[in-house]
Amino acid sequence: MLSVGVKSQKLVLDFVTRMSNREDPGPIDPLNISGAMLALAKAMGGDRDAVAAAQTAWLNNFMLLWENTARRMLGGEAPAVVEPAPGDRRFKAEAWRENEVFDFIKQSYLLTANAMQEMVGKLHGLDEKERGRVAFYTRQFADAVAPTNFPLTNPEVLKATIASNGENLVKGLDNLLADIERGHGELSIRQSADGFTVGENVATAPGKVVFRNHIMELLQYSPSTDEVHERPLLIFPPWINKFYIIDLRPENSFVRWLVGQGYTVFLVSWVNPDPDMAQMGFEDYMRDGIFAALDAVEKATGVKDPNCVGYCIGGTLLAATLAYMATKDDKRVNSATFWAAQTDFSEAGELSVFVDEAQLDALKQKMDSEGGVLPGSKMAGAFNMLRANDLIWSFVINNYLLGKQPMPFDLLYWNSDTTRMPEKLHLSYLRNCYKENALARGKMEMAGVKLDLSKIKVPVYLQSAKEDHIAPAASVFKSVNLFGGPVRFIIAGSGHIAGVINPPAAKKYQHWTNDKGAKDIESWRKGATEHPGSWWPDWDKWLSKLSGKKIPARQPGDGGLKVLGDAPGTYVKVKAQ
């Protein structure tokens, strides 16, 4: 107990010192949570019938829970009034079911959390954007106060505390202090053990850096087949994360699989921006990113029109660039594939809750105070909130309450290997796409050209994922009706990452196709055929037909570009706070 007291005192003193030394405290409410709660209070005041109905339903369920719990305590049996949602792993310990007290705590919490969300869904007086924001922050509150997050109401933590005489809490405080120290005064939850090094046991596909400028390095991967398709494949990953999500370990490397199918793969590795890039925007990433990569691929292979891929925001940039190129009659792209990428943001999912004028103003203040860039930790925090129970609270329990060290996990190591965002690029993306939906409405401009997606006539492959919370399948589908050429749309199982990174050998998940097509996502789903396993072979079948004849395999450096170094290059190794 003395150790806990000393370390807790240090934690409080460090916090007070940091707060007193802050030169720029920044906005008090950068996420505009108060705005969402005021909207909720106003709606509740104007719709007392919905509030009363929710309270009555909750009270009736709670009384039934009391009765069932009393029956169990007297030796009888009673069914659960409420069960955790499918996929909710917080209450997996047997004590949450077998112990009447903890079962009562669990069900009380679930009844209350569900009632809050149901009331928000039924309230009049909220427009859909407001309702989405209120529902999101209501869920964040409910997740934060879950009984699993507190030592006295979590049976696993109580058991560990008794068994170790409190040593778990001492170790947990050590972990907490270390995470605050690593975050330079802010909590930076450690999600994975430090068992990975980029270029050594992640991002290890053989290849070379064949081009470099101030925005990106271009990697060309070494062939693993004697022959390759004549037309190369050029991939633009998101700059919000580092590229090696598609080259983690050999067994789940998308890059290695593509090379094994006989493609000459080029991949952009975006720079981790410093403040000197603060005023670079979409036009810069188009000219010095996409256009520069296209020129480099032509010099390396002699092919003027590679097939291209855009992942997430990299796909949004690619779509905008293709619209610009169509206006200029620039035909340097033969086909475009989009992985979990949106062009119409009218139903863009929960990331939309972070985009309103108050939050954009606060975001600008934060980036100004950082010299014109958004620290990577801020972006990571927003993404973690979308899956708070998995990416925040599970680690609070494991690291701080149970006093354990996180296990080494390549995906979570990548997730915490963050990048910074240039101010102009990031704000223009949020305003043009998320807030104003200007790209889909034909009102977005780049380099003086108004972008019209219907002018894009190249063949398009759209990949989406059933459980994607960042680029929902319904949102991705909207591009089907925006592009002017032939479009193949598919839905993969799982979410934003596992929905894309799903090697066939793993035999996991499934995917859906619909060769007849449809005008809306509901009709498409009704006519879709489910296939077991990865969607990669379906894309390979589509892509191979657009990739030309087979030729002797190319080696990096064979063409007009010199080798500048080994993959994965230097830009990917730059760390960001």
Q: Which tops the pLDDT comparison, 545 or 351?
A: 545
Confidence of residue 381 (pLDDT cuts 50, 70, 90): confident
pLDDT over threshold 90, residue 146: yes
| CATH number of domain containing 506 | 3.40.50.1820
Range in 62-66, 95-99, 100-104, 193-197 with the lowest mean pLDDT: 193-197
Distance in Å from the first CA to the final CA of the chain: 34
Active site (annotated) includes residue 433: no
Do 487 and 343 lie in a common domain?
A: yes
Do 119 and 248 lie in a common domain?
A: no
pLDDT at position 398: 94
Average the pLDDT over 422-446 and give the result: 95
**Is residue 404 one of the residues assigned to a domain?**
no
Domain-ending residue, one of 91, 119, 153: 153
Do 312 and 447 lie in a common domain?
A: yes
Domain-ending residue, one of 153, 181, 215: 153
Confidence of residue 16 (pLDDT cuts 50, 70, 90): very low
Do 146 and 215 lie in a common domain?
A: no
Do 130 and 233 lie in a common domain?
A: no
Do 346 and 225 lie in a common domain?
A: yes
pLDDT at position 29: 73
Residues with Cβ within 8 Å of residue 126, at least 6 apart in sequence: 39, 40, 43, 120, 134
Average the pLDDT over 208-217 and give the result: 98
pLDDT over threshold 90, residue 20: no
% of the chain surpassing 90 pLDDT: 77
Farthest CA pair distance, the chain: 82
With b for 16 or more beta-carbon neighbours within 10 A and e for fewer, the 47-80 pattern comes to beebbeebeeebeebbebbeebbeeeeeeeeeee
List pLDDT tens digits, range 446-465: 999 999 999 999 999 999 99
Gap between the Cα atoms of 433 and 266, Å rounded: 27
**Is residue 175 one of the residues assigned to a domain?**
no
What the block records as the tokens of 133 is 């924001």
List pLDDT tens digits, range 31-45: 788 888 888 899 898
Domain-ending residue, one of 108, 137, 153: 153
Do 120 and 230 lie in a common domain?
A: no
pLDDT at position 345: 95
Average the pLDDT over 469-497 and give the result: 96
Average the pLDDT over 147-169 and give the result: 95
**Is residue 19 one of the residues assigned to a domain?**
no
pLDDT over threshold 70, residue 27: no
Do 123 and 267 lie in a common domain?
A: no
Gap between the Cα atoms of 233 and 248, Å rounded: 19
pLDDT over threshold 60, residue 5: no
Confidence of residue 17 (pLDDT cuts 50, 70, 90): low
Phi, psi of 172 (to 5 degrees): -65, -40
pLDDT over threshold 90, residue 7: no
Range in 133-142, 260-269, 445-454, 565-574 with the lowest mean pLDDT: 133-142
pLDDT at position 110: 96
pTM of the model: 0.91
Do 243 and 112 lie in a common domain?
A: no
Confidence of residue 481 (pLDDT cuts 50, 70, 90): very high
Catalytic residue among 271, 312, 458, 465: 312
Do 48 and 144 lie in a common domain?
A: yes
pLDDT at position 13: 55
pLDDT over threshold 80, residue 314: yes
**Is residue 161 one of the residues assigned to a domain?**
no
pLDDT over threshold 80, residue 163: yes
**Is residue 474 one of the residues assigned to a domain?**
yes
Query: Which domain covers residue 101, as residue numbers?
Result: 31-153
Do 315 and 459 lie in a common domain?
A: yes
Number of structural domains found in the chain? 2
Confidence of residue 427 (pLDDT cuts 50, 70, 90): very high
Average the pLDDT over 213-236 and give the result: 98
pLDDT over threshold 50, residue 1: no
Strand order in the sheet with 510-513: 529-532, 510-513, 487-492, 460-465, 335-339, 307-311, 233-236, 265-270, 216-221, 207-212, 565-566
Q: Which tops the pLDDT comparison, 401 or 27?
A: 401
Confidence of residue 385 (pLDDT cuts 50, 70, 90): confident
* H/E element, 383: helix 376-386
Do 82 and 225 lie in a common domain?
A: no
**Is residue 392 one of the residues assigned to a domain?**
no
List pLDDT tens digits, range 491-531: 999 999 999 999 999 999 999 999 998 999 999 999 999 99
**Is residue 134 one of the residues assigned to a domain?**
yes
**Is residue 214 one of the residues assigned to a domain?**
yes
Smallest CA-to-CA distance from 351 within 83, 46, 86, 133 is with: 133
